[in-house]
Amino acid sequence: MYEFLTGYMFWLSIGICLIGLLVQFVLYFKGLSWQLDRVAYKQYPALGFKGAARSIIRWMIPFGTYGWRKQPFMTVIFFGFHIGAVLVPIFLLAHNTFLKEKIGFSLFTLNPTLADILTWAVVVSAILFAIRRIALPEVRILTTAYDYFILLISAAPFITGLIARYQFGDYTFWLTVHIFCGEVLLIAIPFTKLSHIALFFASRAQLGMDYGIKRGGMKGKGMAW
């Protein structure tokens, strides 16, 4: 099982994830229509680019927007989740040792203590996300089983990763489960709401272009996100 998951399935899941996201990203922009969206995207590339960049960058800074500042609890758990969810899988020492053995190439690696902290932050934030979904009426009304499913498959590799890392129970078993969960997540990404990994940038860029080109960008200062 371990060989299967780290061999054929490793390449397949990474491939599906990356190609899937790329396809989603390209299709998104191909599908934009200046007339239906009422934004002259191609006429003003510089304004569009500036608007898109501002719209993306401001929202990637914790407390960088009015929206983030209005909801500090959400901001903390949002970034607590996403920073770890992006950095740990890519820069974890163990992952890079695996990569080095597999393809003879590895990336910069995180300090193990920092990696532990970030992983715990992901798990704790995921739990708080779930509690928030139950506790707040304005979130509860929107929440479906699908949202919990997405949260579960997103958090599972981190939870199982921690179990393996602290060697609770049978290490080999939990390591296998961890890899399995990671690959399930990778495969699910392009086909579910998790495609927001790419489409977040696309959608934010679109609204940024809208404001940058049509809704005030030509008047000077740009939207105060």
Partner 1 sequence: MPEGTLCNKKPIDTDEDLKTLLNDTGGKKYYKEMKALDVDSGLLWNTIKNTCKSRMKTWLKICAHCGMCANSCFLYLINDCDPKQVPAYKIQSTLGEIIKKKGEVDNDFMHMAMETAWAKCTCCNRCGMYCPHGIDMGIMFGYLRGLLYAQGFVPWELKIGAGMHRVYRAQMDVTDTDFTETFEWMIEEYEEDYPGLTVSIDKEGADIMYTVNAREVKHYPEDLAEAAILFHLAGENWTVPSSGWEQTSLSMFAGDWAACKMQVEHVYAAMERLKPKRMIGTECGHAHRATVIEGPYWAGRKDGKPPVESIHYVEWVAEALRTGKLKIDPAKRIKEPVTLQDSCNYVRNHGLKDATREIISYIVEPGYFVEMTPNREHNYCCGGGGGFNGIGLYRPQRNKALITKRDQILSTKAKLVIAPCHNCWDAIRDLEEEFKIGIKWSFLKPLLISMVEVPEHLKPKE
Provide the 8-state DSSP code for 214: I
Counting contacts by CB under 8 A, is residue 76 touching partner 1?
Answer: no
Counting contacts by CB under 8 A, is residue 217 touching partner 1?
Answer: yes
CA of residue 159 relative to chain centroid, distance: 17
To partner 1, the closest distance from the beta carbon of 81 in angstroms equals 11
Q: What b/e sequence results for 176-214 when a residue is b if at least 16 CB atoms lie within 10 Å of its CB, and e otherwise?
A: bbbbbbbbebbbbbbeeebbebbbebbebbbbbbbbbbb
Contact indicator for 215, 38 with CB cutoff of 8 Å: no
To partner 1, the closest distance from the beta carbon of 98 in angstroms equals 31
Sites for partner 1 among residues 21-50 (CB under 8 A): 27-40, 43-44
Sites for partner 1 among residues 177-216 (CB under 8 A): 193, 195-196, 199-200, 202-204, 206-208, 210-211, 213-216
Sites for partner 1 among residues 102-121 (CB under 8 A): none
To partner 1, the closest distance from the beta carbon of 21 in angstroms equals 12
Q: Which stretch binds partner 1 (CB under 8 A): 105-113, 120-128, 139-147, 172-180?
A: 139-147
CB-based burial label for 142 (10 Å; 0-12, 13-18, 19+): exposed
